Each structure stands twice: as C-alpha cells, then as structure tokens.
Structure 1
C-alpha cells in the first residue's frame, strides 16, 4: 500500500490545490499534516517575536476550517507543534510514508526547509501560490525583469492563468491520523479583544474567504468601484480585504481571478475589475522576486546590495511601534494595526516611509514588526514592499518617500481616520 504525507503550508484549502490532488490521486492513503513551527512561537527577528496573537488566531481558525473540510470527504488533519523538519521525519516513521508532497514556497527560509526534507524523504513540491504558474512565465526566473511594469506587460501578453483544480470528493487517510486544533487559551494566549473600530472582524478559513469573495463581488458588487475606493481608510467596503485569506492560502489567487472574469461577463468590466487583477499580479511579482533573490530580500541592502539611506539611531523604534511618533496620521495607522492586526495599504506605505525616511530607523525592524502584527503577513509581499520603499528593491525611482501631510490631506482630509484611531 502506498502512503504519502501531504504537508499543508500556506495552502489551507482543498479547492484549487494541485498538490493535495496529486497526493489523493497518486497514493492509496494520505496523511494530511500541518506543522506549526515552534520558531514562529518562540523565535524572534531583531528582538521582535515572529507571530503575534492576531495572526495566530486567524491561523488556528483556518486550520479548524481545513480540518472540517477534510472530515467532510472522509479525512482529517494531523496537527503538530515543533521543529518542522524533525516533526515530518517522525510522522514519516510513524505512518510508514515514503513520499512527501507539499506546495512549493518562494521564500528563502521555507526553501531551506524543503532542501532539508528532500534529504530524508522522497519529496515533491508543487507550485501553487501565485496567479501565474512559475513554469508559464515567458522567460526563465533568472531573467525576471527587475521592474514591475515590464513583468506585468509580459505576463499579460504572453502568459495565461490556468484553470482551477477541483477539490477531491474523497480521501483515504492512514489509521490514526487526526489531532485536535488547540485554542488560543490552550496555547497560553489570551484572545484579542475585538475592537468595534476594526474594518471587519476577520475569521480564518476557506469558508469565510469564499463568503468575503461573494460579498464583495456578488452581494454588494463593490468590485465595480474598487479602483476609486481602494485607498480608503475607514470601514470594510473600500477594498477587497482578501489578503489575510490569500496569505494563508484559504483562497487562491486563481479562485479570485476567475470570479473576477465571471463578474466582468455578467455584471461589468471596467478599470476597477482590471485593477484587482493588477494587484494580484503585483503579489505574483513579489513572490517571483523572492524566489529569484533568496535571502537578499531580508538584508538591509536588499537586492541591490547597497544602502540608499543614511541610517540613524534605532533606539527610537519603540515610538513608531507604539504609535507615539507625534505624527497623527502615522500614529493612527499604528494604533489600528496594534488593536486589530490590520492596516490599509495606504497606511502601510506611509508608516514604512516615515520609519525609514523621517526617523532613519532600519527598515528591517519595521518589517519584523509587521511580521508579528499583521494577519495577512506573507514573507514575499512584506519584505518585497519594504525593500521597494527603502530603495533597495524593485522601485525604478530608487525608493518612495511620502509627504505625510500631503497624504493625510488627500486620503483623510477631514481628519476622520485620525480621530477614530487617535
């Protein structure tokens, strides 16, 4: 009897999951596995813990949702906390598995895990975290353009988005598979207090992801005005808010794309429908940049290998972290993130610019704090955006320094957002 481990990573869904389908269709039995790496809970980056309670809560909800999806087709989820490589090796021995299948990552640390696992078990890593498949790019990865516009134009012209992969109707699992998903309290965390000012109350899982997609596209048809409203700051409807579910793989970029195409056919096709796809292509680009440059995106000199900013004293970082810089627009955005685990795209650009260009504090501290706090953290998008604004990434203009007062006047002219999050 053939038996494989399917290791869930940032693909916590059954629909449009090619790797999981390969495991189900290629082996007699499957061990669906998720390992919560202890370094996320115990480790730190530059003295900042790696996973805060907001993201952990969303992750546990997503895993519970995945477990229920698996049970509905005859399966279950095996959940373990520990060192990922060590735990997978133990599961391999426990269930007598000779193959590991998982979604491939573009990020350096995750690829290091893949290399280590390939030495102890026959491993197959399946690309599935982007809109465009890696193999469908119109050039080799090492030829990836270092400017987004060139990338976008090339994939729009020469690449196609693949069809969705249907969820399997049944899975056979090995005897003994299945463990409970712990609650926050069982892990020693207190549940965060829900803040009534939050844009929405995010809940992890494929079900909530599809509910949000249906709400935004079909119930309210908010997509029709996305381009005009996407830089908003207050409320749940100004932008899609898909990013937390995308980051955890509760929904795929392709699932969103094909719903947008359906929306264009039956409701409306305009600049807003294009712009949502445009943002998915940006997300793709950061994933491919991360894969091309590896560990460089985490280094202060970025992919260019040189500093663009004369750095100052990092000891004032706590003022930015706590929303006490004295710049009301910056502080309001930090207060929102600290209270909810979410911040608008407009806010992120402004607080990042302020940390680097006004306070002259090492951008890596800001990136590490975002990693801890944001529900929608993913390494490629997070670090790709930070090096972009720092001028050591893919910005052809050499970095972005925002005029905070002008930004406030444009996007919060009446000061309503500042007052809400004062």
Structure 2
C-alpha cells in the first residue's frame, strides 16, 4: 500500500501521529505546500505571512526534508495550491491513503474540501488531532462543545482528570525504494515575494527554524542552563534570549510537540527540581490547548468583530492610529518599544503583546481584528488559535471574565523600571 503524509503545522519526525500511521504502508511519500494564498495580502492590507515567519518556515522545511531522508521518506515541496498538485501526485504514485494533522479553522477546512473534491474516489484522507497537550478524546467533558468559557475551570479539571498521552516514537527507517525521484525545490524568500534580511542583533529570538533547533533549545533551556527552574520568575522579562522558554515559534509550526515539552518537564522535575516555575511552563501549555478548544467550540466566531461573546462595541478604524501603532510613534513609550521590536524582529514578549493589544483595543478603541491580522502577518510564532484567542481576550470579546484594561505606564514601571527595554528599542533605528 502506498501512503502519503501531507505535512502542515506538524513539521517533525518525533511524536508525529500522522507520520507513524503512514509508516504502516509499503511505500511512504511526504509533501509540503508553500500555498501562495498564505503569501498574499489579507482584507486589512497586510501580507498574511511576512518575511520573519516565512524564513523560519523555509528553515524548518529544509530540516524536515533532511530528517525524513534518515528514515527513507522523500519530501516533495511545492509552491502551489494543494488542490492543484495532490490529485496528480495521488495518480502518479498510486497513493491509497493520505495522512495529515487535523485542522478546523476556516481557511484550512476550505483547502481540504477543495482537495477532496478533486481526488479520485476511494482515496482516503485520515486526520489526527496531534497539536494538543490533552487529546480531545481524553478531555473530562462529553465533547469540546461543553468546555467552560473560563480558563481556570478548564485547567483545574483537566489537571485533575485528564492524562497526557505518551510520545509517539520516531519511526524506524523504511526499506529504501525507488518510489519517487525528488526534483522539487524549497522556495526562497524571493520566490514567496519577500525580501531577505539580517537578524537584528538586539533580537530576543535569534534562533533558526527546524526540529533539531527546537530540541537544541529544549536541551539548552532545561539541562544546560536549568533556566526552567526559574521560568515563572523571569517569564515576564523583555530583554535577552533566556527570560522565557521561547518554544512558541517551534510549537506554532509543529517542529516540536507540546507533549514532548511536557514529558521533558516531568523528567526535569524528577531529576533536578520541581517547583512553581516548572509547573508554570505546563500551565502555559494548557493555556495553548485552551485556545485551541475555544476555536473548536466557537468556530469562525473567533474571527468576527463581536468575538465569541458576540458583543456589540463601537469600534473604529483610523489609518493615522494604525500607522502610529505599527511604527511605534504613539503617546506610550512602552507600546512604541514593543511595536518596534515586532517590526524589526518578528518577536514580542508575552507582556508586550498584552499591553499593545490592550492599548489598541481599549485605549484607541480600534477594530481589534486589525491588530490581530497585523500580528498574524508579523509574528514568528503565529498560531491561529492563540493569536485570535488572545486578541479577543484582551479586547473584551473573548474569555476574560474580568474584561481587564492595562495601565500601560504602571506596566512599564513594573516590568521595565529602569527603562532598559525601552532604551534598547527607542534609539534611532533604520528600518
């Protein structure tokens, strides 16, 4: 039987359920698409994927190709639409089954439906929920439709009643076959319509994409420096590479799984130290899960102006405010520093994200979806569920039961009392 694994946001060979399932076949072929739709402009005028995440993705796919070669699986890479290419691949290589990670948001579902409508009858597409810490089948709820709208309730019950599944082992190499001669090429930034760039020396995330890079980071943060033992104390930092784990870009494109990180935390707790800091990294992984379940439960409401609460606020859309916010020339230096960091590196701290989102939505009262779309374009670690879930949360249309508004000056005093971060980014810079 000939199987094909269609990679998406699961760009790894370790702990990959779809890969493990596909390996039960006689011959296995892998494919990844740089879908042109993700490199066009959205309805707000932003490129859906800017150069920071695009290069990180190119690096990731390049590493995946090498890692798959070690288990004798060729990775075909196309700068094309899946519905155009996949049916031909299926026919050419007599593919019986296609394995992929399950997605449910609108764009991904639309693409999958287009592929299905173009495939020959009898070709199966088998999807796996493989981006969670707690698998949907293991939730302590009848279904994801019944998860609570308050995170704390979800977290406490999952911690008490749900178990994290073991890691799926890296598959053993297949026998070498001549199923395919791979002449496809991974696109360059220029091919994707983007400019190349040098990493800013001030960046808090100077790392490259790829599964090996993610595992190296895990080794560094947990074992070489044991920074995990101080995670909760330092996670609201703003300057440097080690104030937080920085796993999010690799998690976002699936270079590493949440389960891999979880079980490494458990190993660290057993061998080195168990404290509030080690627990807090798991706490953040549960937040990540929660936003995925919010989008599963509420569907396209996470992209709508009223959010999941369907609230009717009087939102504005002012070009002057948008330009000022993006360029970091607002009345708030702390906001400006964070926005300049994002614009020049594709990275922003968790503390920064909450403040600039609150400023955009609660102070300026601008359409929160514009801010979310800009983040989608720029962020190295863009994840559809976390990004739109967090923006709803900070804009009063999501899962914040207290509808908080940040006091930006007080936040700056608390987290950048000596102005180290603001001074770093508010010096005159060339962009």
TM-score > 0.5, shorter chain as reference: yes
Quote the offset at 1:324 in angstroms: 1.4
**What is the match of residue 90 of structure 2?**
92
**What is the match of residue 273 of structure 1?**
278
**What is the match of residue 131 of structure 1?**
133
Q: Distance in 2 between matches of 1:240 and 1:45?
A: 33
2:65 pairs, out of 67, 82, 104, with: 67
Does residue 370 (structure 1) correspond to residue 375 (structure 2)? The answer is: yes
Q: Deviations over 1:274-308 (max 9, x none)?
A: 0000000000000111111111101110111123x
Q: Distance in 1 between matches of 2:41 and 2:170?
A: 35
Does residue 199 (structure 1) correspond to residue 201 (structure 2)? The answer is: no
Quote the offset at 1:193 in angstroms: 2.0
Quote the offset at 1:88 in angstroms: 2.0
Work out the number of aligned pairs and report it: 418
Q: Deviations over 1:189-217 (max 9, x none)?
A: 33222211111312000000000011000
Q: Distance in 1 between matches of 2:195 and 2:297?
A: 39
Instruction: Give the aligned CA root-mean-square deviation in angstroms.
Output: 1.4
**What is the match of residue 34 of structure 2?**
36
Superposed, which structure 2 residues align to 1:3-42 within 5 Å? Answer: 3-25=2-24, 27-42=25-40
2:151 pairs, out of 148, 152, 162, with: 148
Unaligned runs of 5+ in 1: none
Confirm or deny: 8 A CA contact 2:78 2:185 kept in the other structure: no
Superposed, which structure 2 residues align to 1:288-303 within 5 Å? Answer: 288-303=293-308
**What is the match of residue 169 of structure 1?**
172
Q: Deviations over 1:129-159 (max 9, x none)?
A: 0111011111111111111011101111111
Q: Distance in 2 between matches of 1:125 and 1:22?
A: 10
Quote the offset at 1:186 in angstroms: 4.5
Q: Which moved more, 1:298-307 or 1:405-414?
A: 298-307
Confirm or deny: 8 A CA contact 1:35 1:87 kept in the other structure: no
**What is the match of residue 429 of structure 2?**
none
**What is the match of residue 229 of structure 1?**
234
Superposed, which structure 2 residues align to 1:251-290 within 5 Å? Answer: 251-290=256-295
Superposed, which structure 2 residues align to 1:300-339 within 5 Å? Answer: 300-307=305-312, 309-315=313-319, 316-339=321-344
Quote the offset at 1:400 in angstroms: 2.5
Does residue 384 (structure 1) correspond to residue 382 (structure 2)? The answer is: no
SS of the residue aligned with 1:48? Answer: coil
SS of the residue aligned with 2:4? Answer: strand
Q: Distance in 1 between matches of 2:300 and 2:19?
A: 28
Quote the offset at 1:4 in angstroms: 1.9
| TM-score in terms of structure 1 length | 0.96
Q: Deviations over 1:343-376 (max 9, x none)?
A: 0000000000001111111011110000110000
2:248 pairs, out of 236, 243, 248, with: 243
Does residue 416 (structure 1) correspond to residue 420 (structure 2)? The answer is: yes
Unaligned runs of 5+ in 2: 427-431
SS of the residue aligned with 1:421? Answer: helix
Q: Distance in 2 between matches of 1:263 and 1:192?
A: 37
SS of the residue aligned with 2:404? Answer: coil
SS of the residue aligned with 2:79? Answer: strand
Q: Distance in 1 between matches of 2:383 and 2:88?
A: 27
**What is the match of residue 103 of structure 1?**
101
Q: Deviations over 1:235-258 (max 9, x none)?
A: 011100000000010000000000
